Amino acid sequence: MFYRVALLSPILLALVACTNSNPPNTPQLLTNRDTVGFGTDQGLATYIGTVPQDSLDIKNGGVEDLVITGFNISGETAFTYTATQSLPSTVQGLKHMFVTFYFAPTAARMYNATFTITSNAANAPSKVINLKGQGVNPPDGGG
């Protein structure tokens, strides 16, 4: 029994030490994903004439303020966005903001674009998010 306790104590101490790290002081731009695919990664598609939405979580992983100075979509015009804050936008340390993307396909085909976030982040002053979606014709609805 003594051996179990003696061995268990250093293991628990090591686990506690590993989970007790401090965030960096400098602003850090973190996102919950690098691609917003409107279901394409699950083999799904969007009917022409509909406009689904999907959100991106932007987090400041540092202590100092993250200042986002630019959002830019390049590529297909089927993608648009709105943000929870206007630019320039300040995201305080360890806080979040969200960008909502909309996909409005006009033809039955694959669409691609990129969304670039420009900021004062030490880890990624310019971060690119891939946007993609598949447009499909709606069913006839006849019976």
pTM, rounded to two decimals: 0.83
The Cα–Cα gap between 10 and 16 comes to 10
Asked if omega into 23 is within 30° of 0 (cis), the reply is no
The pLDDT score that the predictor gives to residue 93 is 97
Query: What are the tens digits of pLDDT across the range 56-87?
Result: 999 999 999 999 999 999 999 999 999 999 99
Residue 74 DSSP label? E
Query: What are the tens digits of pLDDT across the range 30-39?
Result: 999 999 999 9
CA 69 to chain centre: 17
Comparing CA positions, the residue from 59, 79, 81, 54 lying closest to residue 127 is 59
The pLDDT score that the predictor gives to residue 38 is 97
The pLDDT averaged over each successive group of 10 residues in the chain (143 residues) is 51 54 96 97 96 98 98 98 96 98 98 98 98 95 48
Residue 116 near residue 99 (C-beta atoms within 8 A):
no
**Looking at domain 23-136, which CATH architecture does it have?**
Sandwich (2.60)
Q: In a 10 Å sphere around its CB, with 0-12 CB exposed, 13-18 middle and 19+ buried, how is residue 19 labelled?
A: exposed
The pLDDT score that the predictor gives to residue 14 is 55
The pLDDT score that the predictor gives to residue 23 is 95
